[in-house]
Amino acid sequence: MLVKERKSVMQTCHYRETATIFSFLAVILIIISLIPIWSCTYFPSRHGPGYLLMVEMVKQYFNPAYNYSTYYEIKPYLVPNLLFNITTCLFHLVFPILTAYKLALSVNVILWPLSVFYLIKVINPRKIVLGFVSFLYVYNFFFCFGHNHFCLSVPMFFFIFGYWLKYKDNLTLKNISLLNIFTSLLYLCHLFSFVLLVFVMAVYDVIKDRSIKGILSPIRLFIPGFILLVHYIILNITQSSWAKFTFQYNPIHWTMEGFVTEFLYSFSKMEMVLTGIPILCVFYLAGKRLVKGWRSIHNEPILILTGILVLLYFILPGHAFEWHRVNVRMLPFIYIFLLVCAEPITSKVVSRIFLSIIAMSTVCLFMMMTINISNAGKVVEEYTSGISKIEQNKLLLPIMLEKEYSIGQMKPLTRAHDYYNIFKGGATGRSLATLNTIVPFWYKHYPVEEYLPTVTSKDRNDICKMKGKYDYILCWGRDDEFFEILKREGVILIHQKGRVWLYKTH
């Protein structure tokens, strides 16, 4: 009896010691993971500036020093892609816009591993060491690309799913009310994650209960979200300026390649190398679990669910509405579900080795991301160097005279022109308001090209006809022939730095 008690006490002490070590390591890695975000003035995401402009308009729309109300009108619909903007707005009440954006991104980075740890703890605490792999997923393609709302929706998805699993067999009125609130917030984050959560919960119940009736059980947890979804569908059908109901499938070899490159590769292919060994270990452990539990697969709902998600990745189209990515959005969920359904590491020695590899890979990855993000941020600084040279509330025409700057799969200058409107007001005709139903501010008139025409490098010689519509022309790259045309037309060069040329039309 005494031996058993002593053994129990030793196990408890070991568990507490391990939990302390894991908690300490997680805090250290979270702190290190924030360094890349704060390593530059402008975080160089592709779509980030577009959403930041919406945030700045929330604050300055009624400010007479800004003329946003001349070109935009408020549309306070509860549409997806709002929650990250709201988070940034709250920070912007206290901090400058760029700092507020970094704080909102930092929240996203912190929530990502915490949500995975929470889900693993709910399902099987013995697998908690696998949760550290999620640090390698933080600076994924979507995060660096600027899909801020989608990236925020991923940890929310796993927090909600974990909470539901924890209480699903004894749902009280309080739990149901909280889940309705949580799922509504998820809808406001991103529509894809909201719909996927409905699907995942329904399929899990069907597998667990072995009854098709389970497909209806989660509906009561999504009532406000479903109401908002119906409204959003009607809004797009009746007022959308962009939604074209088309679907495009990628070749199978692109889809197979994208299983890795469309999630783990953003600024450099070396990112895939650093994450390779830990992820291969996870795939091995997941495969081991599949082989081990094959005969009783019906008792492994998470394992079956993961397989279904992988199948969906290959079934869903690559793009919808001509530009919206679809199947690759399954990847964050697949990679994290693989952690959850993997075979636990029972050996203390193997666990320590595995954890050491993850920690070293994570630190090296964050160091490399810091360098790449910092370098890309300097390019954005170069592009925005003319902000102080333009007057308040003017119209700006951005134009690329050479191939757009890119680093890896990232193109941080795509919407960097929005920084000019963020700090100086005015408009460009290229803000996210062109996709009206995904943002809270719409242009007052559509199509926008009728009064704010855009110009590409192919038809840039016609720009002289448009100089009366714009106050400034922002050029990236050098074209002496084009610059000579501008000079003959009386357009004045007021700023030049590196590859940036800023002209005043009149």
Per-residue pLDDT tens over the stretch 223-247: 999 999 999 999 988 888 777 777 8
Q: What are phi and psi of 141, to 5 degrees?
A: -55, -45
Instruction: Say if CB 204 and CB 122 are below 8 A apart.
Output: no
Q: Where are the alpha helices (DSSP H) in 61-134?
A: 68-71, 83-92, 97-123
Using pLDDT thresholds of 50, 70 and 90, give the confidence band for residue 465: low
pLDDT in the model for residue 185: 97
- pTM of the predicted model, to two decimals? 0.92
Q: Tell me how far apart the alpha carbons of residues 118 and 176 are, in angstroms, rounded to a whole number.
A: 19
User: Please, what is the average pLDDT of the chain?
Assistant: 88
Q: Which of 390, 324, 408, 385 is nearest to 80 (CA)?
A: 324
The size of the chain, in residues, is: 506
| pLDDT tens digits along 50-104 | 999 999 999 999 998 999 999 999 998 999 989 999 999 999 999 999 999 999 9
Instruction: Say if CB 104 and CB 38 are below 8 A apart.
Output: no
Does the pLDDT value for residue 174 go beyond 90?
yes
| pLDDT tens digits along 419-441 | 999 999 999 888 888 888 889 99
To the question of domain 382-504 being in CATH 3.40.50, the answer is: yes
Q: Which of 427, 401, 402, 432 is nearest to 415 (CA)?
A: 432
Does the pLDDT value for residue 33 go beyond 60?
yes
Q: Which of 216, 217, 232, 196 is nearest to 81 (CA)?
A: 232
Tokens read off for 346: 């029972």
Does the pLDDT value for residue 15 go beyond 60?
no
DSSP state of 503: E
Q: Provide the residue ranges of all domains of the chain, joining segments of one domain with +.
A: 34-373, 382-504
CB-count burial class (<10 Å; 0-12, 13-18, 19+) for 113: buried
pLDDT in the model for residue 458: 54
Q: What is the largest CA-CA distance in the chain?
A: 98
Q: H or E stretch including 500?
A: strand 500-504
Q: Tell me how far apart the alpha carbons of residues 183 and 154 are, in angstroms, rounded to a whole number.
A: 12
Using pLDDT thresholds of 50, 70 and 90, give the confidence band for residue 8: very low
Q: What are phi and psi of 80, to 5 degrees?
A: -60, 170
Q: Which of 170, 196, 187 is nearest to 336 (CA)?
A: 196
For 82-112, b/e burial (b = at least 16 CB within 10 A) is bbbbebbbebbeeeebbebbbbbbbbbbbbb
| pLDDT tens digits along 324-361 | 788 999 999 999 999 999 999 888 888 889 999 999 99
Beta bridge partners of 442: 73
Q: Tell me how far apart the alpha carbons of residues 149 and 418 are, in angstroms, rounded to a whole number.
A: 18
Using pLDDT thresholds of 50, 70 and 90, give the confidence band for residue 11: very low
Residue type present at position 457? S
For 55-68, b/e burial (b = at least 16 CB within 10 A) is bbbbebeeeeebbb
Does the pLDDT value for residue 10 go beyond 60?
no
- Residue corresponding to tokens 């980030």: 48
Q: Cα angle vertex 298, ends 293, 304, to 5°?
A: 80
